[in-house]
C-alpha cells in the first residue's frame, strides 16, 4: 500500500471553462514522476485524475491520506510536492481549502 498518493487533475474541456489539463498539469506530473524515480521513492504514488472541483484554481491536486489540497500549481512546485509525498511536510505556499469547506 502506498504511504501517500497524489492525485493531479488533468481534465481537459473544449467549452472554454478553465481546465487543469490546459494549464500544465501533465507536465507537472511528468516532473514529479521523474523526481520520484530519482529519489527511489517506491511507496508513494502520483496519478492523473479528472476534475476535482475547484477548476478556477487549477491545476489542482490532493494528497491522501493527508487530505491536503493544492491549487495554482506549476511545474516549479514539483520539488515541494515530492517533499510532501516523501516526508509528509506540505508545500504550504500552494495549499488550498478543500472544495466546499468555505
Ligand atoms: S478541471 Fe481541474 S479541478 Fe476542474
| pLDDT 10s digits, 68-96 | 999 999 999 999 999 999 999 999 999 99
Q: Please indicate, yes or no, if residue 57 is contained in any of the structural domains.
A: yes
Q: Please indicate, yes or no, if residue 101 is contained in any of the structural domains.
A: no
Q: Please indicate, yes or no, if residue 83 is contained in any of the structural domains.
A: yes
- Global pTM reads 0.95
Q: Please indicate, yes or no, if residue 65 is contained in any of the structural domains.
A: yes
Q: What is the pLDDT of residue 2?
A: 86
Q: Containing domain of residue 79, as a range?
A: 4-96
Going by C-alpha positions, the residue among 13, 52, 41, 45 that lies closest to residue 29 is 45
Residue 65: give its domain's CATH number: 3.40.30.10
Centre of ligand 1 from the C-alpha of residue 55, in Å? 4
| Three-state secondary-structure class, residue 61 | strand
Ligand 1: atom nearest CA of 10 is 2
Q: How many domains does the chain have?
A: 1
Strand 61-64 to strand 44-49: parallel, antiparallel, or no bridges (unpaired)?
Answer: unpaired
Could you give the percent of the chain with pLDDT greater than 70?
99
Report the pocket of ligand 1 as residue ranges, CB < 6 Å: 9, 11, 19-20, 51-55, 58, 60
Amino acid at each position: 500500500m502506498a504511504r501517500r498518493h497524489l492525485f493531479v487533475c488533468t481534465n481537459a474541456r473544449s467549452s472554454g471553462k478553465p481546465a487543469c489539463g490546459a494549464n500544465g498539469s501533465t507536465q507537472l506530473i511528468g516532473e514529479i514522476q521523474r523526481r520520484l524515480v530519482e529519489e527511489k521513492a517506491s511507496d508513494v504514488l502520483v496519478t492523473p485524475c479528472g476534475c476535482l472541483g475547484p477548476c478556477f484554481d487549477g491545476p489542482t491536486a490532493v494528497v491522501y491520506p493527508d487530505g491536503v489540497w493544492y491549487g495554482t500549481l506549476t511545474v516549479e512546485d514539483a520539488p515541494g510536492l515530492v517533499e510532501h509525498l516523501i516526508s509528509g511536510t506540505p508545500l504550504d505556499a500552494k495549499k488550498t481549502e478543500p472544495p466546499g469547506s468555505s
